[in-house]
Amino acid sequence: MDNKFNFWFVVNWIFGILVFIDGLLNLFRGNDFGFGVFLIILSLIYFPFTNSYINSLFKKKLNLSVNYLFKIALAIFIIWATLAVGALAEGYYPGLWY
């Protein structure tokens, strides 16, 4: 990536931070420790420093890379899973909705 900020760079950082925070909420306050760890691991895909490592690993082993279409599909899955079974959906944080 060159030295300029673009739209996807900012979206990746924001979404990665939000998913990481939601993973921490599920980890410490929610009733599902495993789901919190799962969200924290998935959030790492959206950070640029781990994204470059994952891309180089996939490129070396499988000769493919993690593109934006995969990240968008994964984001839809994360949002769906968080709103369906996460600590926010189960009412552990009622003050966050209003």
The pLDDT tens digits for 52-94 are 777 777 676 666 666 777 888 888 988 888 877 766 666 666 6
Within 8 A by CB and 6+ apart from 51, the residues are 12, 45, 66
- Residue 55 confidence (pLDDT): 73
pLDDT tens readout for residues 6-48: 888 888 899 999 999 988 988 887 777 888 899 999 998 888 8
What's this model's pTM, rounded to 2 decimal places?
Answer: 0.73
Residue with tokens 């030295």: 3
Give the C-alpha separation, 34 to 69, whole Å: 26
Handedness of CA 83, 35, 17, 48 (dihedral sign): negative
Neighbour-count burial of 40, counting CB atoms closer than 10 A to its CB (0-12 exposed, 13-18 middle, 19+ buried): middle
**Domain regions of the chain by residue span:** 7-96
